[in-house]
Amino acid sequence: MATRHLCRSVLLQSLYEWDFYKLKEGKDADLLAIIDRNMQSLAEGIDEPDFVYRIAKNLIDHLDEINNIIRQAAPAWPIDQINIIDRNILRIGLSELVFGNPEEVPPKVAINEAIELAKTFGGDSSGKFINGVLGTIYRQIAEKQTGDKKSETPKETN
């Protein structure tokens, strides 16, 4: 398993635990402490451990924004009704897609990795759901960037 994919898998498992404690038990859990423990037990000897922490930091710093993006992109699915695996895969994907460095992880790679996580850890329709939501957001970002570039381009005068 590739190093970065393993990091994302460990992060997903850590987010699952964190989300479970937060929602089901009503307890606050330290996500970074959970990640530390899981990295030691599940990803010993990984050659790029900082990668998982960069994604996690983006996710923690922008959690409310990420959740709002999910709400807007999937209005038929209230965030608390999206199953815990799919919800956290979306969070990882959006952390990379919207708030990550596109030179480190290109947008299409972030989407593909999220889909692969969904196929591995999610249900039968998880891959399609993740692809649909992240694809919609990717297109919105691309349209916004194209629109911004058009508005910056000076118009020719006669």
Burial environment of residue 77 by CB neighbours within 10 A (0 to 12, 13 to 18, 19 or more): middle
Cα of 43 vs its chain's centroid, Å: 19
24 is written with which tokens? 């089901």
| Across 48-57, average pLDDT | 91
d(C-alpha 151, C-alpha 31), whole Å? 41
pLDDT, one tens digit per residue, over 97-151 is 999 999 999 999 999 999 999 999 999 999 999 999 999 999 998 888 887 665 5
The answer to pTM > 0.75 is yes
Domains of the chain: 3-151 (1.10.940.10)
Cα of 68 vs its chain's centroid, Å: 13
Residues 6 or more apart in contact with residue 62 via CB below 8 angstroms? 95, 98, 99
Q: Are 24 and 17 in contact (CB under 8 A)?
A: no
Instruction: Place 30 in a pLDDT band, splitting at 50, 70 and 90.
Output: confident
Positive or negative torsion for Cα 39, 120, 116, 72 = negative
